[in-house]
Amino acid sequence: DSGVTQTPKHLITATGQRVTLRCSPRSGDLSVYWYQQSLDQGLQFLIQYYNGEERAKGNILERFSAQQFPDLHSELNLSSLELGDSALYFCASSPFPYGYTFGSGTRLTVV
């Protein structure tokens, strides 16, 4: 167990639907990162939060949004889902000054 908890582990949903992925960082880590891994795009950085505030944005689609709550857990919301959104979504957390620990991921399948 890495200490970063992601739920659910698997998700199957239909096109056009909306889903929420959840991430609890390691205790004490203020930074949370979301990554998408697919066969064609590889590992893509989506977004970073630090202590509740958005810090950096990567290749995140407008249909996707995220937030970090006061207890530091984070949620990634994916809406109007398309077949191409099927991927493994990872969350990572980071303590100061360095080091990143990844969760086990959520495998999203859009049918």
Partner 1 sequence: ELKVEQNPLFLSMQEGKNYTIYCNYSTTSDRLYWYRQDPGKSLESLFVLLSNGAVKQEGRLMASLDTKARLSTLHITAAVHDLSATYFCAPTRGSQGNLIFGKGTKLSVKP
Task: Report the interface residues with partner 1, using CB under 8 A.
Answer: 2, 31, 33, 35, 42-45, 48, 50, 56, 58, 88, 90, 92, 94, 96-105, 107
Query: Which backbone phi and psi does 83 adopt, to 5 degrees?
Result: -55, -35
Give least dist CB 16 to partner 1, A: 27
Q: How far apart are the first and last CA of the chain?
A: 30
Closer residue to partner 1 in complex, CB, 3/16: 3
Least spacing, CB of residue 107 vs partner 1, in Å: 8
**Smallest separation, CB 38 to partner 1 (Å):** 12
CB of 18 to partner 1, least distance (A): 25
- Separation CA 85–CA 37 (nearest Å): 10
CB 103 within 8 A of CB 90: yes
List beta partners, residue 57. Answer: 47
Q: Which is nearer to partner 1, 18 or 91 (CB)?
A: 91
Instruction: Indicate the burial class of 106 (C-beta count within 10 angstroms; 0-12, 13-18, 19 or more).
Output: buried
Q: Whose Cβ is closer to partner 1: residue 54's or residue 80's? A: 54
